[in-house]
């Protein structure tokens, strides 16, 4: 009997909020690697908000999935068969693979990970794409100076939690928005944020900002959009920088949503607003990974992962991103 590989397929395009019908679990034979490929037994699988964009039938920075495609994302796992001289069976690697128990990866497109340096899920979070997004987004687009006030939305998420800590290491006052007391406590008590606002506990984000960021906002790192962003834009200081990393509040909108116009608000402060995509910094990923690993090893940056057990629950892990179920990086533990 052939060994079986369970994989998640794209079942149907969502209209508005996705649900379980968008996902279809199938059993296939475990695939065989070609020359230069590795067969990896998936330990952890990453679910990320940007994947919602791949469910749309329109070109964006990430190619859209077609119905019937195997879903793809960041994975970390163990090499069980190698057709490449670069990696041996038993190595742990990370790369972009399938939402599956076993995934084929091109040896040229993976990186070795060391389970002694950090737990495997960290390689999908602080030491993976979200950590690098925080690193380049904050430092290159946000350009924080000591004494600046940095505001982060989605602050308890995989990217936001790292952004805030890097801002603290740069001598900034850091204010985070998050949607639960457990999250805001984590930000202030463990991660060293100067203030955190539970946006589900107040309607008046402007007043909350006046208290948490009395000197205004020099850098805004936006993962969310919506009313939080509307409020922050009224507090931008002269020469403020806004890094637009994500807009999760709008990913399930069918039409381009409306809101207060922001361009009139940019002139007086001469604020700069810039869309951010980590792939643009690919040639410098080594620098970021090294620095982040150093900070993690020294305890200067802390990290947390929310783990959903079982490949069969991967869709729920993904859907939970939109209701803010996760604290830190959301991953799926695939291997039994």
Nearer to its own copies, 1 or 267 (CB): 267
Binding mask 197-236 for its own copies (x = CB under 8 A): -------------------------x--x---x-------
Our finding on whether 245 is near its own copies (CB under 8 A) is: yes
Closest contact distance (angstroms) between CB of 262 and its own copies is: 7
Q: Please say which residue, 171 or 260, places its beta carbon nearer to its own copies.
A: 260
In whole angstroms, how close is the CB of 132 to its own copies at the nearest point?
A: 15
- Candidate list 277, 285, 316, 322; residue touching its own copies; CB under 8 A: 277
Dist CA 314 CA 88 (whole Å): 28
- What string of DSSP letters covers 213-248? -TT-EEEEEESS-HHHHHHHHTTEEEEEEEEE---G
Mark residues 279-308: x for contact with its own copies by CB under 8 A, - for none.
-x----------------------------
3-state secondary structure of 264: helix
State the binding string over 39-68 for its own copies (x if CB under 8 A, else -).
Answer: ---------------------xx-------
Nearer to its own copies, 166 or 240 (CB): 240
Contact 74, 46 (CB under 8 A): yes
Q: How far apart are the first and last CA of the chain?
A: 20
Contacts 24+ apart (CB under 8 A), 196-200: 196/155, 199/228
Query: DSSP letters along 281-322, please?
Result: GGGGHHHHHHHHHHHHHHTSS---EEEEESGGGHHHHHHHGG
Contacts made by residues 176-179, CB under 8 angstroms, sequence distance 24+: 176/151, 176/152, 177/151, 177/152, 177/153, 177/205, 177/224, 177/228, 178/154, 178/324, 179/324
CB of 287 to its own copies, least distance (A): 20
- Report if residue 261 touches its own copies, rule: CB under 8 A: yes
Task: Choose which of 140, 262, 302, 325 interacts with its own copies (CB under 8 A).
Answer: 262
For its own copies, which stretch binds (CB under 8 A), given 129-137, 195-203, 245-253, 303-311?
Answer: 245-253
Q: Which helix (H) or strand (E) holds 209?
A: helix 205-212
Among residues 13, 83, 185, 272, which is the contact residue for its own copies, using CB under 8 A?
A: 272
Binding site for its own copies (CB under 8 A): 60-61, 222, 225, 229, 244-247, 250, 256-277, 280
């Amino acid at each position: 009997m052939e060994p079986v590989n369970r994989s998640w397929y794209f079942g149907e395009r969502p209209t508005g909020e996705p649900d379980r019908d968008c996902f279809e679990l199938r059993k296939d034979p475990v695939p065989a690697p070609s020359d230069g490929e590795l067969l990896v037994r998936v330990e952890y699988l990453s679910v990320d908000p940007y994947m919602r964009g791949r469910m749309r039938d329109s070109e964006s920075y990430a190619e859209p999935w077609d119905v019937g495609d195997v879903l793809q994302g960041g994975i970390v796992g163990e090499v069980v068969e190698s057709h490449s001289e670069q990696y041996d069976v038993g190595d742990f690697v990370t790369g972009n693979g399938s939402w599956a128990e076993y995934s084929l990866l091109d040896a040229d497109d993976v990186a070795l990970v060391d389970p002694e340096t950090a737990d495997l899920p960290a390689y999908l979070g602080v030491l993976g794409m979200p950590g690098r997004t925080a690193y380049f987004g904050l430092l290159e687009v946000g350009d924080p100076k000591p004494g600046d006030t940095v505001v982060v939305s989605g602050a308890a998420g995989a990217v936001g939690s790292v952004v805030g800590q890097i801002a603290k290491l740069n001598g900034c006052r850091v204010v985070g928005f998050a949607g639960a007391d457990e999250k805001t406590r984590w930000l202030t008590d463990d991660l060293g944020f100067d203030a955190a606002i539970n946006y589900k506990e107040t309607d008046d984000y402007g007043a909350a900002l006046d208290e948490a960021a009395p000197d205004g906002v020099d850098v805004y790192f936006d993962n969310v959009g919506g009313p939080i962003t509307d409020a922050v834009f009224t507090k931008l200081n002269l020469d403020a920088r806004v890094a637009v990393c994500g807009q999760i509040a709008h990913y399930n909108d069918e039409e381009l949503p409306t809101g207060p116009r922001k361009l009139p608000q940019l002139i007086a402060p001469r604020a700069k607003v810039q869309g951010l995509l980590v792939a643009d910094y690919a040639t410098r990923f080594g620098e970021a990974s090294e620095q982040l690993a150093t900070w993690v090893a020294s305890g200067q940056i802390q990290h947390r992962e929310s783990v959903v057990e079982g490949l069969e629950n991967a869709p729920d892990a993904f859907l939970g991103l939109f209701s803010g179920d996760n604290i830190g990086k959301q991953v799926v533990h695939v291997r039994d």
